[in-house]
């Protein structure tokens, strides 16, 4: 069974804190790893898609790394702001035309 | 302009009824998807279509029938609705089928079966 796990399930931080969370996935036949940001009452929005081992992506204060050999990805947020509050989803794909298997998400709450 | 739109946003209906949810994307994408958000809030793939052709059909009851009249539309028809069908259904699209293409999601349709 292909399973994607995210930790922690929820996270509460103060404004200005830097934070990170983890996405774990089976590494064999890995094809791609997606990160999405999902604000309450909105649709999930893509942050990054990564395919190569050692890949690092950055968008503003948010960055992500990928280790395909050991099957994990980290998402980092530097200097969290209240507007970063959302659920962060990762999803893995195991062959080129395969489906996305989503984790359960990490719910981030940033207090001013 | 909304990239991926779904109608209706809310749908409340009785058990046994037949209902449809419509999805349209104006991004010129080749591939469209239906996801169901389950009770534990996981997003699970139901179907994917590429250029109007069914590609992924998960173990979904055959009461669920997707229809793609053209590349820009993927509708979901549900027959004989059951209580367990209550969920939020999301439509999505991507440029092509390959798994390295990011997906663009619609706003979701909250279906409540009474």
Question: Chain B closest CA to A34's CA: distance in Å?
Answer: 7
**Cβ-defined contact of B98 to A96 (cutoff 8 Å):** yes
Task: Check if A99 contacts B (Cβ < 8 Å).
Answer: yes
**Cβ-defined contact of B99 to A105 (cutoff 8 Å):** no
Give one DSSP letter per residue of A13-67, joined into a string. EETT--EEEEEE---TT--EEEEEEE-TTS--EEEEEE-STT-EEEETTEEEEEE
Per-residue pLDDT at A41: 87
**Cβ-defined contact of A93 to B102 (cutoff 8 Å):** no
Mean per-residue pLDDT over chain B, rounded: 93
Model confidence pLDDT, tens digit, residues A48-98: 999 988 899 999 999 999 999 999 999 999 999 999 999 999 999 987 777
Q: How confident is the model at residue A29 (pLDDT cuts 50, 70, 90)?
A: confident
Greater pLDDT, A74 or B57: A74
Mean pLDDT of B57-74: 92
Task: Check if B56 contacts A (Cβ < 8 Å).
Answer: yes
Task: Check if A98 contacts B (Cβ < 8 Å).
Answer: yes
Q: Which of A45, A46, A105 sits opposite B41 (nearest CB)?
A: A105
pLDDT at B1 over 70: no
Q: What residues of chain A lie within 8 A of the CB of B4, using their CB?
A: 43
CB atoms within 10 A of CB A1: 4
Task: Check if A66 contacts B (Cβ < 8 Å).
Answer: no
């Amino acid at each position: 069974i292909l399973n994607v796990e995210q930790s922690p399930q929820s996270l509460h931080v103060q404004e200005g804190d830097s934070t990170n969370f983890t996405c774990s996935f089976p590494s064999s036949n890995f094809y791609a790893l997606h990160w999405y940001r999902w604000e309450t009452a909105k649709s999930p929005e893509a942050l990054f898609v990564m395919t190569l081992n050692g890949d690092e992506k950055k968008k503003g204060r948010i960055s992500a790394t990928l280790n395909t050999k050991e099957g994990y990805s980290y998402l980092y947020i530097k200097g969290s702001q209240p507007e970063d509050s959302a659920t962060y989803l990762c999803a893995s794909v195991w062959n080129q035309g395969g489906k996305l298997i989503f984790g359960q998400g990490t719910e981030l709450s940033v207090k001013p | 302009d909304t990239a991926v739109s779904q109608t209706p946003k809310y749908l409340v209906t009785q058990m046994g009824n037949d209902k449809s949810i419509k999805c349209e994307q104006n991004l010129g994408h080749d591939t469209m998807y239906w996801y169901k958000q389950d009770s534990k809030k996981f997003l699970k793939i139901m179907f994917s279509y590429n250029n109007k052709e069914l590609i992924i059909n998960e173990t979904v009851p055959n009461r669920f029938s997707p229809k793609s009249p053209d590349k820009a539309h993927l509708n979901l028809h549900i027959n004989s609705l059951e209580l367990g069908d209550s969920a939020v259904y999301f439509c999505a699209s991507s440029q092509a089928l390959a798994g390295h293409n990011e997906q663009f999601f619609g706003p979701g349709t909250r279906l409540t079966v009474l």
